[in-house]
């Protein structure tokens, strides 16, 4: 049975004091076997690891470089993350693609390095508004799958978490309807089943990432193929993220 996951992406927010306060405010009471992940800025990774050492909260990195090591000032490698005890990393987030010029080739390299160092990739995919309006969104995300992860073996892809993020719904306050989310998640799972097999596809958690908040989380998570959320702004407040954790 695949995992139910509440993942928070803090992006470039919070100072050190606010970050510590937020982690302290997270409560896992009553969430059952739901996995909780917080993707924090790199400068807070050690703080987050220390603060969650006695809890089930998983600390994830928001990014790492697509080369093993070298003269890349300011970058972080997957080997560095592994040595710190980080077990998960976001890869392919739409903001990295849009603002940092990350191509499908770069993202593929990151996926490979992430797995090579024993980390779990949280692979992000999704379409911009103009693609959705032209009703080409399924072709768009299928291309992302083909160029980013479908080269992996069955064993490797089984260790990936996928986050579907309609770019038109990130930070806009607009959310895909529950039906739209289910349609795309089911499509992603069918694409995985067609390339691998149904058993493999059924094991992979697919998260929805597009303006998830307490008011809509329960309806979104009730869908058969929506296994949780990659939460942005609502993960920056303990009370709202706590509520999302309990929405399964």
Contacts of 178 (CB under 8 A, 6+ apart): 216, 219, 220, 222, 223, 226
Query: Could you tell me the CATH number of the domain that includes residue 216?
Result: 3.20.20.70
* Confidence tier at 106 by pLDDT (50, 70, 90): very high
Number of domains making up the chain: 1
Structural domain span for residue 28: 5-245
Burial of residue 111, with CB atoms counted within 10 A of its CB: 0-12 exposed, 13-18 middle, 19 or more buried = buried
Mean pLDDT of 157-166: 97
Whether this prediction's pTM lies above 0.85 is answered by yes
3 close to 227: Cβ distance less than 8 angstroms: yes
Residues annotated as catalytic (active site), given as ranges:
93, 165
Please write the tens of the pLDDT for every residue from 178-232. Answer: 999 999 999 999 999 999 999 999 999 999 998 899 999 999 999 999 999 999 9
Q: How far is CA 183 from CA 180, 189, 197, 216, in A?
A: 5, 10, 19, 17
């Amino acid at each position: 049975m695949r995992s139910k996951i509440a993942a928070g992406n803090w992006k470039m927010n919070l100072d050190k004091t606010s970050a510590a306060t937020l982690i302290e405010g997270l409560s896992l009471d009553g969430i059952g076997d739901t996995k909780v992940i917080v993707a924090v800025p790199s400068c807070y990774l050690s703080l987050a690891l220390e603060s969650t050492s006695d809890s089930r909260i998983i600390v994830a990195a928001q990014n790492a470089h697509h080369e093993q090591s070298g003269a890349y000032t300011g970058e972080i490698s997957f080997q560095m993350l592994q040595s710190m005890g980080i077990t998960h990393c976001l890869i392919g987030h739409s903001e990295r693609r849009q603002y940092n010029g990350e191509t499908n080739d770069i993202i593929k390299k990151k996926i490979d390095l992430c797995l090579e160092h024993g980390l779990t990739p949280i692979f992000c995919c999704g379409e911009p508004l103009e693609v959705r309006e032209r009703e080409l969104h399924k072709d768009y995300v299928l291309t992302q799958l083909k160029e980013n992860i479908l080269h992996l073996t069955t064993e490797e892809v089984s260790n990936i978490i996928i986050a579907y993020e309609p770019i038109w719904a990130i930070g806009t306050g607009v959310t895909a309807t529950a039906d739209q989310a289910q349609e795309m998640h089911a499509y992603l799972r069918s694409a995985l089943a067609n390339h691998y097999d149904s058993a493999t596809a059924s094991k992979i958690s697919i998260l929805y990432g597009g303006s998830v908040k307490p008011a809509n989380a329960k309806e979104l998570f009730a869908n058969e193929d929506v296994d949780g959320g990659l939460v942005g702004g609502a993960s920056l407040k303990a009370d709202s993220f706590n509520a999302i954790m309990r929405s399964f």
